[in-house]
Amino acid sequence: MKPFRYQAPSSVDAAVEAVEPMGVPGQGGAFLAGGTTLIDLMKLSVATPPSVTDIKNLSLDGIEEADGEVRVGARVTMAEAASHPIFLDRAPVLSDALWKAASPQLRNVATLGGNILQRTRCPYFRDNVSPCNKRDPGSGCAAIGGINRLLAVLGTSESCIATYAGDFANALILFDTTVETHRAAEGPRQIELEDLHVLPEDHPERETVLADDELITGYRFRLPDWARRSVYVKARDRESYAFALASAAVALDLDGETIREARIGLGGVATVPWRAREAEDFLKGKTVSEETGLQAGRIAFESAQGYEHNAFKIPLGRQVVAKAIFDAARKDVSGSAGQSEGAN
C-alpha cells in the first residue's frame, strides 16, 4: 500500500473541499466509507489515492419515509438497511438483494454509498499487471481471450467486458431512484440512479457520471404498494458469500394472473446496473406462465454477447429472469413479511 493522507472532516462541505480531485479518474483522492472495496484495492495497489477522506463523521444516516418518499442516507450500512422494516416489508427485493450479498461481517461495515460504487471484480483489473483499459486506459483488455467466466454479456464493448458485480443497485434501480450528491463548488445535485453508471464503450476507466469531488449523500425513491411483490433471485456457485453469476430483481403489479406492470433489474451479467425495459414492456398485460417468464428472459438477453467462458450466462440469465417472475407472482403478500429470512 502506498502512503496516503488521511482526513475525517465533520461536514459535507468540508469533505467535498478536502477530497483533492486530480481530474483523472481513479487518480484523485477518495472518499472512504466502509472501505471494503477501497482498502482492498489499495492493498492491491490498484487504487493509490494520495489522500483518503473518511466520511464517518458525516451525518448521512437514517432511513425515513415522508410524503410517500423514502430517503436513505449514504452511510447506512448494508446490514441496517437489510433488516429495516421499509426494506423488508414494503420492498423485499431491496432487503433480499442486500442479505444475499457478501457476508455478515462485510454487511456490517459496508455502506449503501460505497456499495453502489463498488468496483468490478475482474481479475485482470485487480492483478495490477495485465493490460486493462479500466485501470490503465489504452493498454488493452486481458479479459477478452482470458479467464472471463465471471464477466459480462450485456453492455460490453471491445474495450471492456467487466461485470458490475454489485447486487443492491440492480434492485434499487427498479424504483426510479434518485441519487443525491454534493460537490464543492456546485453544491447539491440529483442524478437518476439509472444514469449514474455509464457503459464502458471506449472509456471503461469512466464508471459513473460523478465528478471526482462529488459525494453521494443519499437516495430517494417511492415504493408503490405492489413493491411488496418483489424478489431478488441470485444464481451463484455456492449457497452464500459469492457474487452473482446471474441475478434478477423483479417487482410485479398483478391483477389476478395478469401483469399490469413489471420491473426487472439484472445483475452479474452486465457492465452496469441493468434495467431490462424491453422485457418489462413485453410483460405488460401478459398472464403469468412459465412460457411468458422465459420469453421475458429471452427478450432481456436479446442483445447479449458471450465470450470464451461466460456464454452460459445468457441461457442462465433467461432462466433466472423466469424464476424471479414466477417467484414474485407466487409470493404471499397478504401479511407483512416481517422477519429477516435467516443468516447469509
Ligand X SMILES: Cc1cc2nc3c(=O)[nH]c(=O)nc-3n(C[C@H](O)[C@H](O)[C@H](O)COP(=O)(O)OP(=O)(O)OC[C@H]3O[C@@H](n4cnc5c(N)ncnc54)[C@H](O)[C@@H]3O)c2cc1C
Query: Residue 154, CB half-sphere, CA atoms under 13 Å: how many?
Result: 27
CA distance 82 to 207: 26
Q: Does 33 sit near ligand X (CB under 6 A)?
A: yes
H/E element, 259: strand 258-267
Query: Pattern of binders to ligand X over 107-126, x per CB under 6 A?
Result: ---xx-xxx-xx--------
Choose, by CB under 6 A, the member of 164, 219, 243, 326 that binds ligand X. Answer: 243
On whether the CB atoms of residues 138 and 151 are closer than 8 A, the answer is no
**Residue 30 touching ligand X (CB under 6 A):** yes
Amino acid at the residue 31 = F
Using CB under 6 A, pick the residue from 120, 178, 181, 217 that binds ligand SF4: 120
For 305, the grid coordinates are 454477447
Kindly state whether residue 261 participates in binding ligand X, applying the rule CB under 6 A.
no
| Binding to another protein in span 214-233, by CB under 8 A | 233
User: Candidates 39-47, 127-135, 171-179, 234-242 — which segment interacts with ligand SF4 by CB under 6 A?
Assistant: 127-135
Q: What single letter denotes the amino acid at residue 124?
A: Y
Site string for ligand X, 128-167 (x = CB under 6 A): --------------------------------------xx
How far apart CA 70 and CA 67 sit, in angstroms, is 8
CB of 102 to ligand X, least distance (A): 4
At 307 the three-state DSSP class reads: coil
**Residue 66 class from Cβ within 10 Å (0-12 exposed, 13-18 middle, 19+ buried)?**
exposed
Judge contact between 272 and 197, C-beta under 8 A. Answer: yes
**Least distance to ligand X, CB of residue 312, Å:** 19
Q: Is 204 in the site for ligand SF4 (CB under 6 A)?
A: yes
Bridge partners for 187 per DSSP: 183
- CA dihedral (90, 92, 93, 99) in degrees, to 10, reads 130
Going residue by residue from 35 to 54, which x/- string records binding to another protein, judged by CB under 8 A?
A: ----------x---------
Of 155 and 268, the one with the shorter C-beta distance to ligand X is 268
Per-residue contact string for residues 114-153; x = within reach of another protein by CB under 8 A: -------x-xx--x-xx-----------x--xxx-xx---
Residue 242 and residue 236: Cα distance in Å, rounded?
Answer: 6
User: Residue 170 and residue 154: Cα distance in Å, rounded?
Assistant: 14
Residue of 18, 30, 79, 142 interacting with ligand SF4 (CB under 6 A): 142
- Cβ atoms of 319 and 233 within 8 Å: the answer is no
Strand-pairing partners, residue 31, are 53
Binding partner of residue 150 among ligand X, ligand SF4, another protein, none, CB cut-off 5 to 8 Å per kind: another protein
**6 belongs to the binding site for another protein (CB under 8 A):** no
Under the binding rule (CB under 8 A), the answer on residue 105 touching another protein is no
Asked if 289 touches another protein (CB under 8 A), the answer is no
CB of 122 to another protein, least distance (A): 10
**Side-chain half-sphere exposure of 236, counting CA atoms within 13 A:** 21
**Does 141 help bind ligand SF4 (rule: CB under 6 A)?**
yes
Q: Are 156 and 66 spatial neighbours (Cβ–Cβ below 8 Å)?
A: no
The SS3 assignment for 248 reads: strand
Rounded distance between C-alpha atoms, residue 154 and residue 81, angstroms: 28
Residues found near another protein in the complex (CB under 8 A): 1-3, 45, 121, 123-124, 127, 129-130, 142, 145-147, 149-150, 233, 235-243, 245-246, 309, 312, 315-316, 319-320, 322-323, 326, 341-344
Residues found near ligand X in the complex (CB under 6 A): 30-38, 40, 55, 74, 78, 101-102, 106, 110-111, 113-115, 117-118, 166-168, 215-216, 243
Residues found near ligand SF4 in the complex (CB under 6 A): 120, 122, 124-125, 132-134, 141-143, 151, 160-162, 204
